[in-house]
Amino acid sequence: MDHDSVTNPEVDKVGSVKEIEEKAIEVLRSIYDPEIPVNIWELGLVYNLDVAPLGIVNIQMTLTSPMCPVAESLPPEVETKVRSIPGVTHVNVELVWDPPWSMDKMSDAAKLQLGLL
């Protein structure tokens, strides 16, 4: 048994936060924009992912355009799926438009998948 984890509860919190963050990224990689065959993480639609102690997850995300037909359904889907991660107690999803999304925000893997590289 690791002595630090017994005497320092912050170590356990940090481990939990890191684990939740990793699982949240995994979940975000399972959610796809229905118009583009790439997940929202690789598309660069998630601008910020912050996991606070006590399992609070804050996500800032955008869509490919303000007129995107999934504007009503995608943020609640993100919230529901991230909330299902063990250890998550609350999820805040904030839809932001600044800075506007552009293809520059996509990962190289996404660009490759779409034939842009």
Q: pLDDT tens for residues 7-62?
A: 334 434 445 899 999 999 999 999 998 888 899 999 999 999 999 989 999 999 99
109's tokens = 């893997």
Q: Which of 2-6, 18-22, 91-95 has the lowest mean pLDDT?
A: 2-6
- Going by the DSSP 8-state scheme, the letter that residue 90 receives in this structure is E
Q: State yes or no: pLDDT of 3 exceeds 70.
A: no
Return the pLDDT at 105: 94
Q: State yes or no: pLDDT of 5 exceeds 80.
A: no
Whole-number percent of the chain with pLDDT over 70: 87
CATH number at residue 104: 3.30.300.130
Count of structural domains within the chain: 1
| CA distance linking residue 104 with residue 18, whole number of Å | 27
Return the pLDDT at 10: 42
| CA distance linking residue 3 with residue 78, whole number of Å | 37
In terms of Cα–Cα distance, which of 86, 29, 32 is closest to 63?
A: 32
Q: State yes or no: pLDDT of 94 exceeds 80.
A: yes
Q: State yes or no: pLDDT of 63 exceeds 80.
A: yes
Return the pLDDT at 15: 55
Mean pLDDT of the chain: 86
Range of the domain at 91: 3-113
**How far, in Å, are 73, 81, 95, 116 from residue 110 at the CA level?**
22, 22, 21, 8
